[in-house]
Structure 1
């Protein structure tokens, strides 16, 4: 099957690149390993939910101009989050006034930092001793939870830039879920002539200048003059023999090494729909209610939770990211559900059995164990700009690389990053005859 351009991966980056290339007159075949487009964007009611809930990307973090532009073109509104943010520590509940205390002092030290270093090293060097123990814990917990980062690898400079903005506090949701945007991009791409192949995981890519052959797990072959790889960073980081590994012939050792120098954080989401929003009011069974709950940050083993407000659906999302999620990447769904219910029971002052009685739907989404992702989203490590530049470097005017993992800008780890990267790759390809 000969075509101008093969695109591997029908996530946000691949879809937008495919649409733009096809609209410019290129013949495009888009190969996706899953039985659906979207990659790490997946809104679904699977598992018995009464409405679609987000297995992956959920919020718009910050200005994200391209995402907002495309949502507007698609006629999809977005809704601000609502409710009260709480924090729970040692069984004590209080409203959360900020993501962590002493942010001005932290930023002052970060802005005075003469050279980049890992976050953990920075905290130990500039905030040592018992006096700053709580601060170190809060900052580390935030970096690991929000950015899915390993504090021993995460760039202090990159986190300084992130924490100097407002991305964490300005986080609306696309109305009806992100998959509405994916569906719109699929429609646009197919209308422009893109051939989309689902359930077609590519396991090998043979290439030479101006010639590429992709081989699927079922032994199908697809050829083109050029290829655009938009697979997640976790696939680039995979070792030979690991599920999800993409064999390249000839191999690209510099690109593989650059990918492994970058951070790709694991995430586990626990989605629970209850018969009623039982966290709203105190009762004989719930001694620590959380009325008007928006977000909850805690010292529980599954520490972060949020509601769907302003949507009143009785759905809670539990979130585990970073090293803690990596440690549990091989944990069974049943055990993860039990841990989630135990955490939530502690937070609400109730029992796991009571919560279990009122769960009408649940879903466990373990992105670290997903063989087509092997992680959730990128974070900046030391030397990340150079590593991303290496990974994104085209080969012999034939292989091009895009995706959230190679994006270099203020919206790392977001759908915006994937979309911008896909659009940029399409522009690169269109400059070639």
Structure 2
């Protein structure tokens, strides 16, 4: 079998039930995500897929490296703020660290990041320094969809390491650049790895028709007094349409059958999202903050219409795409993620392994192992059976003190293997001011 092309799509702040294929309700204009829903029907949809963190930068460290983000200092900030990160030689993804794109590039893949980076600022960090041949998108966490500016109006759109002034709605600009990369890679007859990391549906709340809203905010991209559910769903729909353009490019080039397309989110949803039946959201280690959509489409390998209960983490996708490309992790930087390639092929049954989280925000910790989840928020501990109680309402801590103690000890033993959180690490303060740029 030829090595697959890989299109790795990451949404920003997308809730678990925002998509139709995860039970999301139609909007006034109709289906919110018909293209992604089609990818799920034609491939596999995971119901127990998790983000490595409930906030963006840490998850992106895990996606880039295939390892627990806690191993790197930059991922201790929740997330990397532009105010602290600009000029820092510490807060970012070290160019010396092997990454998914660098491993695939060494194996002969063309590599590109189209979209959000948010893993440190030049001159010390950047996509071209971490394995990508090409980059088009914003460096920081959140930008306006029309001015492409951060809070305070600083412009943040780049083509490689050159500032790029290109008019248009950012979601569409990213989708079109992704199509262009696919077309050029097809002409070169070289396998490619495309990271398509949308900023949608992250605030500010702007659709294609909302240029006037962008102008009226005066560069304040927080837009805390704006937005609504309808606008939010249209933002998802615009992203979905762009993914449709990407899929059409693959079909036009005759590449769709042998291309692995992955879709997920960097963390749980924000204020206008739908996380049903989960509770909580971005910044929380409750299920709504970390359980996210997971869809994979690869006609040559994945049988259509599959739904998997396999519990998995963002960094498992990293291990999976490297495995699918016939590569291995660097021996000095072994993956913490587990390859799901046998599972995609239908050759393996779901397996059980512990998954750990740690958040400085509200001193949170979590461990999932099988159906059980240990959760601590500040000084209060919880124990949930997620098979029976996805909404995390029935705290079993008093009823099962032995299990609670064992899972607490398991989490603490794992935590001792990770570097501590430094006291100067930045912490997002609330759900509404979390990606401080």
Which TM-score tier does this pair reach, normalised by the shorter chain? under 0.3
Q: Give the number of the structure whose residues are more often helix, by fraction.
A: 1
Q: Give the number of the structure whose residues are more often strand, by fraction.
A: 1
Larger radius of gyration: 1
Give the TM-score taking structure 2 as reference length: 0.24
